[in-house]
Structures are given as C-alpha cells and as structure tokens.
Structure 1
Amino acid sequence: MNYLPNIIFLIILAVGIGYFVNNIKKLRRNIKLGKDIDVSDNKPQRWKNMTRIALGQTKMVVRPVAGFLHIIVYVGFIIINIEVLEIIIDGIFGTHRIFAPLGTLYDFLIASFEILALLVIVAVILFWIRRNIIRLQRFIKPEMKGWPKKDGNLILYIELVLMLLFLTMNAADYQLQQLGAAHYTEAGSFPVSRFIAPIFEGLSLSTLIVVERTAWWLHITGILIFLNYLYFSKHLHILLAFPNTYFGKLGPKGKFKNLDAVTQEVKLMLDPSADPFAAPAEDAADPEKFGASDIMDLSWVQLLNAYTCTECGRCTSECPANQTGKKLSPRKIMMDTRDRIEEVGKNLDANKGKFEDDGKQLLDDYITREELWACTSCNACVEACPVSIDPLSIIMDMRQYLVMEQSAAPSDLNNMMTNIENNGAPWPFNQMDRLNWKEEL
C-alpha cells in the first residue's frame, strides 16, 4: 500500500493547524495587552446573550435581507464543515467516505450538505452584488478603501471556490460510483452534484479519479488556508463573536463607569473631618492615568471588541454624526484600534516580547480629536452592532484622557465646565440672576 498521500496529508494538516495555533497565541497575547477588568458577574445572563446573539443571530435579522443571507452562509458553512471530519479521517487512514456505514443517516447528511452548499453559493453571489454593483453606502465609506474592500471580496471568493470544489468532488464521486469504480462504494445522496455529474460523462475512470482527488485535495487544503486567513481578516469574528457576546456589557447602555481615583477625591471633599491638604500615605499607589491615549490604556474587553469587528458598517450607518457629514465613523474607531494593536504586536515580535517605544499612539496617529468630539454619545452604534461591540466606550475613554490629562476639551465644553464651577449651572449667569427671565412675562 502506498502511504505517501497519507504522509503528505498529515504534513499539510500539521502545518495548517500549527500555524493557526501560533496565530491564536499571538491574538491572545495582543488582547491581554489591555488592562484587566472583572467580567465574571451574572454568568447565566452572559451565556444567554452568547446563545441568543452569537449562535441565534438575533441582531442580524434586524435587517432581514442581509440577516437571512448571513444565516444561510453561517449555518451552511458551519454544517458543511462537519464533513471536514470525514475528510480528515479519510486523509489520515487512506479510507474513503469512512462514515458511509451510517446508511440512511449518511445519505441525509450528504444531501443536506449539498443543498446548503448551493444556498451558500447563491448567498455569496448576492453579497458580492450588494458590495460591488449595488454598492450600498455603508460599503463605500472612506475607511473601506484598500485592504478592507479587498478582504470583503476575497472572503466571498474563497467561500465560493470551497463550495464549488465540494460539489465538484461529490459529482465526480457520484459518477465513479455509478461506474462501479474500486474504492468508490455506493454511498450518499447527491441532489445537487448529480446534475453536475453529466459534465464528466465520457471521461475514463483514471481521469475521473484525478478530478475527484484533485477537488478533494484542493477542498481540504482550501479549508486550512481559510482557517489561517481568519487571523488577518475581518472574518475573525467567526471565532470571536462567541466570547465577545459573552463578555459584552450587561448594564444600561447609557451608564458610564466611574474612576475610583475621582470617586475617592469627591468623597474626600465631602468629608468635613478629612484634611484635603494631607499628604497621601507612603504605601499609596500612584494614581492611574485618566482615560486612554493608546491601546494599553484600554481594557482587554475593548481590544477583544476591536478584533471581533466584522466591518459590516451597521454602527456607522446608524451614527447621527456620520449621517450629518461629520468625520466620525464608529466602524473606523474599531478598525483603527485593531490596526494599532497589530502594530504593537509586531513591535513585540520584533523585540522578543518587549515593547520598544515607536513614538506613536492610538490618539492622533490613528484616531483624530475631531472624530472623538463629533460623537453625541447616543449609543446608536452599540445598539446596532450584531456582535455586542461597544465603540462608544473607547471614544469616551479617549475623551476622558483629553479632558483630565491634557485639559484639551473644545472651547465650548471648557466654557460649560467653567460655568458649572462658578455658577453651579452650564449657563453664564450668576445664580442670583437665574430667574430674571420671568420678569418679562
């Protein structure tokens, strides 16, 4: 028996999985660059959110057309790849359709896979038309030029090719079964590929075997390539949507976190017995940096958000600031954050795990102040996201840095804060004059 194909298969499998595991380790390291926060509360609700949003796709179907097409691709691609298990076993042991003894159940599974493969092909074509011919507004925003646009199309091409290879493999297999070829025992039901099989009529057995084997090898190799492509693509959300929805914010969307250092200062000011001029204790920790200017100042959940972003643009299409022509795009905030994380990660790779200051940061080098101050903090982007990403939290943390670390708020905001400090209200009127307006009534 010739074991060479099995050895080659094992090598390809080991390289593919090994490279994927290495990238996952990098991903985990990069996410852990963020500050640690405790998100271990209310586990039943977190599991419920993950099941409902990531697995159940409930927020996708808010837009029915895109939602329905996405569910077809999502369900089809996941279920069809159950067949990968059989391919892996066949590739390792040199068998062919190892699960064929399941009989009727196997026939049903193969038939289901084929119907789903056809539906995936239709959905992928429609997605491509929406992106490239209809050109929906959210797909042609400035941040979607260059690699993001290529990535969106490339993933569609990969999915299309993988589904066509799957059907081609089955069509050649079906034809070989009909011809009684050795090693191709009759098994499976082929409601789609049997209509492709006539293309191969007239071919010799040896040619048919070459067609079937070529499609088989390209299909499994393509799946391994796709698996490793995920790390470099927006389609990393296929894996990260589940943890991201689990760790998503549970509290009211309009509730912002308080800084412990500020809370302590306020309590000190309100305590009549406290000495506001007393020096801090010798063992007191240095006060934390207020807000965020770079990714290391954000939490690991925010960095997970950035890697999970699907670049679908629902957040930006719902953003009132963006709709009125302002520079802000919540999608760009997440894309910029991810790009900066990747830049820092490459810095760590180049310097053996130690970050060397590159003179850059997320603020100004990636996200401009104009974008940050354009935000109305309405939470429309958070509500629209189909995988529980929170761009607003990053915007507010960076604003906090500008105000509390750099005193760099816009003049209107500075005027308002001065008025609150002096007059107890945002308006430039002395407290004694507040009711003067009623004299004119």
Structure 2
Amino acid sequence: MEYLPNILFAIILAAGIGYFAKNVKKLIRNIKLGRDADVSDNKSERFKNMAMIALGQSKMVRRPVAGILHIIVYLGFIIINIEVLEIIIDGLFGTHRIFSVIGATYGFLIGAFEVLALLVFVSVIVFWIRRNIIKLKRFWKAEMTSWPKNDGNFILYFEMVLMTLFLVMNATDVHFQTMNLGNVISQYMAPWFSGLSEGTLHLIERGAWWLHIVGILVFLNYLYFSKHLHILLAFPNTYYGKLAPKGQLNNLESVTNEVKMMMDPNVDPFAAPPEGAETAVPEKFGASDVQDLSWVQLLNAYTCTECGRCTSECPANLTGKKLSPRKIMMDTRDRLEEVGRNIDANKGEFKDDGKQLLGDYISTEELWACTTCNACVEACPVSIDPLSIILEMRRYLVMEQSAAPTELNNMMTNIENNGAPWPYNQMDRLNWKDE
C-alpha cells in the first residue's frame, strides 16, 4: 500500500500524456489532408518571425492593455509549469519538493512562480471582466455562439483554479513554510489556515497537489478541443507564415504558363507543347472543401485564437456585411474536424457526406464581401491568413462554376472583348487623353 499513490500517479500521468499524444496524431493527420505547400525558403526569416511573433508576442502589444495582460498570463502559465517537473518526480518516487536541496536558487524560482501566479490570477480576472461585464463587441459577434463563447470562459476558470491550487498547496505545506524559502505570496495566505491541525493542513496540501497536477493534465487534453490550441500551434504557424508582401496574390502556374504561351508570338498555339514543358492542369481550380486547401491554411485554421482582431478591423464587417474573417477560420476548422470524424468512422477513409466547406459552412455572400485589403492578415497576432482561403474559394466559384457576380462577369467580358475593364471599343480607348 505504501507505493499505491505512486502507482496511481504513474497511471494518471501515462493516461493523460497518452490521450494527448493520440489527439496530436489526429491533429497532424487532419492538417496533412491539405494540399502540399512549399514553405522551405528563407529559414532565417521564418525563425525570426517565430521568435518575434510567437515567443516575443510583438503583434499582441499593438493593443497594449490586452497585449500586456496576455504576456503576463502566457509567461506566467508557462514558467510556473516548470514546477511540473518537480511534481512529476515527487509523484513517481514519493519524494517531497526534491529540488529544494538547491537552496537559494529554489527559493528564487518558487518566489518568482508565486508572484507570477498572483499576476496571472489578476490578469485572468481582468480578461473575464472584459469578456463578460464590459462585453467587448468583438467577443459577442454572431459567430461567437454558445461553445466559442463558453470555451473562452472555461479557459479563464481553468487558469484561476490552477493558480489558486498552486498557492494553496504552498500555503498549507508546513515544511515549505518552515523553510521560509520562496514563500513570498503564500506566507500571507498561510494564516488563513492557522486554526487547523497539522494533519488537516497535510490533507489540504495533498488535495491541492493532486488537483493541481490532474488539472494540468486535463487542461493539456482540453487544448485539442479548444481555441487555446494556439498555445502550441502559434510557433509552427508563425514559422510557416506568409513571407511575400501582403498585397501579392499567388497565381496558378498552369494558367500563367498558358497565358505566356498564348501571348508569345513565336509559339504556335495549335502546336504540341515542347518536351518537358509545364502543362499539367490541376484536377480542380480553387477550393470548395478543406481537402482543396493547403496544409498551411489548415494549420492556420487550427491555430485561430478566436480573438476577433481580424473581424474588428475588417472594413466589410464594419459596414454591416456578412463577412467575418474569424468565422472563415472557425468554419474551416469545424469542417476539418467533421472530415476527421468521418475518416475515423470509416476506418481511415473519407466517405462522401454530401457536404463541403463552400455552401454548407461559408456562403458566397461572405466570400464576395471581401475587399482583399489584408486588414485581417495584418491584425492577426499569430500570422493567420484568412484572405488566402477566401481567394481560393472565389477562384473555385469563377473557374469551376462560372459563378462570379454580375459586375465581375461584365468586367471580364469587357477585358476579353475590348482589352480593358470598360465597355468601350478598342479604337476609343485613348479618347480620354483628348478631353
């Protein structure tokens, strides 16, 4: 019976990490459903972006209040969880605060952890007030239905409880308080429990210890189902983020080559293409479902923080249009999850379910409301590119379904017939200069 707690701890730890690994494997599989994308260029610039944006939070602080609070929560939560290493060793081998033997360094670390825990707790309360009392508009848009709205609050409650358990664990640890080493916050909480016996204090300390580590494992596995997956994915997402100028749009290579060939006076358009020429035409132009998008775009969808900064700066949304860049990313992720469940249910094969991203999740009205201004891309704190998905779906509508709006069809007809977007005879195209 002496080793029962250690065995129980090992089982819980293995189950928590095992379930997390299973979900990570599923996540990678879902992302790999996307088309291939070459993002192997400019490694130094990509590492710099990852360091500045994901680690340094450089785009978060453009909104100072939220940015500074987020840095506190981010750093606090990550740094405090360094102590998880000590908890794991203590749990597996039955020791107690095994790192305390390093003396003053241990005191400095635990003291820093306690200060950060308090700062995280205060910051989370401010976030909760902004979300639920002040009710910032971007948290209450139409796409923020019950689950996305509750998910944001669940995380805040998780963090408040975990920080409280950490401080209570320290405050009721008689041995730790006697050491007077690093208890910079918990020493002021210890008197709250002064009327209790040493045995009762030990029970509270052990209870807080168990709840803290189990809570961390639950939180770890909750990430897969939550917008807070960005805690892990922000790093690869910023590394693989777009490096080209934001106004630069990608072209289909097959279409570009076709146009070049047609415009080259030295090439007979009716002749067979030269050997080795790039003539392959894609099976499908643009995207109507998640499998038509690149794996980088699917990574974008899973990384979305649902913060709403993109939507709050979208001129189409601000003028009452239906488009919300945040919804585009949320819909893409929801459809990708649906496809993943379909594959799970059909033993690794996708069975046509009669649905697709276009129409069932994202409407054409949303797509054509976009002005391609890149405000959403610029606003995103983790380098997500909603515009690229919008453009791929537009490309499908135009090139596969000939379903462009009337205004766009008129323009393309004019270009085809007159060589210009306007309905003027080619002989009259330069008349404007005489006016």
TM-score (norm 1): 0.95
Q: Which residue of 2 aligns with 1:147?
A: 147
Q: Which residue of 2 aligns with 1:301?
A: 296
Q: Which residue of 2 aligns with 1:191?
A: 184
Q: Do the aligned partners of 1:111 and 1:189 also contact (CA within 8 Å) in 2? A: yes
Q: Which residue of 2 aligns with 1:336?
A: 331
Q: Which residue of 2 aligns with 1:162?
A: 162
Q: Do the aligned partners of 1:245 and 1:388 also contact (CA within 8 Å) in 2? A: yes
CA–CA distance in 2 between the matches of 1:273 and 1:438?
Answer: 33
1:149-201 CA distances to partner (integer Å, 9 max, x unpaired)?
Answer: 0000000000000000000000001x4555x7xxxxx3632111111111111
CA–CA distance in 2 between the matches of 1:142 and 1:287?
Answer: 36
Q: Which residue of 2 aligns with 1:246?
A: 239
Give 1:270 shift. 2.1
Unmatched segments (≥5 aa) in structure 2: none
Q: Which residue of 1 aligns with 2:307?
A: 312
Q: Do the aligned partners of 2:170 and 2:176 also contact (CA within 8 Å) in 1? A: no
CA–CA distance in 2 between the matches of 1:344 and 1:275?
Answer: 45
Q: Do the aligned partners of 1:176 and 1:205 also contact (CA within 8 Å) in 2? A: no
CA–CA distance in 1 between the matches of 2:7 and 2:275?
Answer: 65
Give 1:24 shift. 0.2
1:351-375 CA distances to partner (integer Å, 9 max, x unpaired)?
Answer: 1110000001110110000000000
Give 1:320 shift. 0.3
Q: Which residue of 1 aligns with 2:20?
A: 20
Letter in 2 for 1:153: N
Give 1:268 shift. 2.1
* Deviating more after overlay: 136-145 vs 188-197: 188-197
CA–CA distance in 1 between the matches of 2:428 and 2:273?
Answer: 41
CA–CA distance in 2 between the matches of 1:363 and 1:277?
Answer: 36
CA–CA distance in 2 between the matches of 1:281 and 1:42?
Answer: 33
Letter in 2 for 1:144: M
Give 1:271 shift. 3.2
- Identify which of 351, 355, 370 aligns with 2:346: 351
| Counterpart check, 1:40 vs 2:33 | no
Letter in 2 for 1:310: T
- Identify which of 276, 282, 287 aligns with 2:282: 287
Q: Which residue of 1 aligns with 2:383?
A: 388
Letter in 1 for 2:232: L
The 5 Å alignment of 1:410-421 reads 410-421=405-416
CA–CA distance in 1 between the matches of 2:305 and 2:281?
Answer: 38
* Deviating more after overlay: 380-389 vs 269-278: 269-278
Q: Do the aligned partners of 1:100 and 1:187 also contact (CA within 8 Å) in 2? A: no
Distance change (3 Å), C-alpha of 1:326 and 1:335: same
| Counterpart check, 1:377 vs 2:372 | yes
| Counterpart check, 1:119 vs 2:119 | yes
SS of the equivalent of 1:88 reads helix
CA–CA distance in 2 between the matches of 1:372 and 1:205?
Answer: 65
Q: Which residue of 2 aligns with 1:236?
A: 229
Letter in 2 for 1:198: P
Distance change (3 Å), C-alpha of 1:377 and 1:128: same
Give 1:431 shift. 2.3
Q: Do the aligned partners of 1:261 and 1:288 also contact (CA within 8 Å) in 2? A: no
| Counterpart check, 1:210 vs 2:203 | yes
Q: Do the aligned partners of 2:72 and 2:120 also contact (CA within 8 Å) in 1? A: yes
Give 1:202 shift. 2.0
Distance change (3 Å), C-alpha of 1:290 and 1:50: same
CA–CA distance in 1 between the matches of 2:261 and 2:184?
Answer: 75
Q: Do the aligned partners of 2:34 and 2:294 also contact (CA within 8 Å) in 1? A: yes
- Identify which of 423, 429, 434 aligns with 1:428: 423
Give 1:276 shift. 2.6
Q: Do the aligned partners of 2:76 and 2:113 also contact (CA within 8 Å) in 1? A: yes
Distance change (3 Å), C-alpha of 1:32 and 1:438: closer
CA–CA distance in 2 between the matches of 1:237 and 1:377?
Answer: 25
Give 1:267 shift. 2.2
CA–CA distance in 2 between the matches of 1:312 and 1:156?
Answer: 14
Q: Which residue of 1 aligns with 2:363?
A: 368
Q: Do the aligned partners of 1:319 and 1:330 also contact (CA within 8 Å) in 2? A: yes
Q: Do the aligned partners of 2:34 and 2:298 also contact (CA within 8 Å) in 1? A: yes
CA–CA distance in 1 between the matches of 2:352 and 2:26?
Answer: 19
| Counterpart check, 1:91 vs 2:91 | yes
Unmatched segments (≥5 aa) in structure 1: 181-185
Give 1:37 shift. 1.1
CA–CA distance in 2 between the matches of 1:318 and 1:90?
Answer: 49
Give 1:9 shift. 0.1
SS of the equivalent of 1:333 reads helix
1:375-420 CA distances to partner (integer Å, 9 max, x unpaired)?
Answer: 0000000000000000000000100110011110000000011111
1:25-63 CA distances to partner (integer Å, 9 max, x unpaired)?
Answer: 000000000001110101000000000000000000000
Q: Do the aligned partners of 1:103 and 1:187 also contact (CA within 8 Å) in 2? A: no
SS of the equivalent of 1:383 reads helix
Q: Which residue of 1 aligns with 2:10?
A: 10
* Deviating more after overlay: 282-291 vs 52-61: 282-291
Q: Do the aligned partners of 2:314 and 2:324 also contact (CA within 8 Å) in 1? A: yes
SS of the equivalent of 2:182 reads coil
- Identify which of 266, 269, 280 aligns with 2:262: 269
| Counterpart check, 1:56 vs 2:56 | yes
Aligned length: 433
CA–CA distance in 1 between the matches of 2:300 and 2:360?
Answer: 20
Letter in 2 for 1:224: L
Distance change (3 Å), C-alpha of 1:272 and 1:438: closer
Cα RMSD (Å): 1.7
CA–CA distance in 1 between the matches of 2:213 and 2:9?
Answer: 9
Q: Do the aligned partners of 2:254 and 2:281 also contact (CA within 8 Å) in 1? A: no
SS of the equivalent of 2:250 reads coil
Q: Which residue of 2 aligns with 1:183?
A: none
* Deviating more after overlay: 108-117 vs 257-266: 257-266
Give 1:278 shift. 4.8
Distance change (3 Å), C-alpha of 1:282 and 1:406: farther
Q: Do the aligned partners of 1:169 and 1:215 also contact (CA within 8 Å) in 2? A: yes
Counting aligned pairs with the same residue, the percent is 76
Distance change (3 Å), C-alpha of 1:282 and 1:296: farther
Give 1:433 shift. 2.5
CA–CA distance in 1 between the matches of 2:180 and 2:364?
Answer: 63
Letter in 1 for 2:161: V
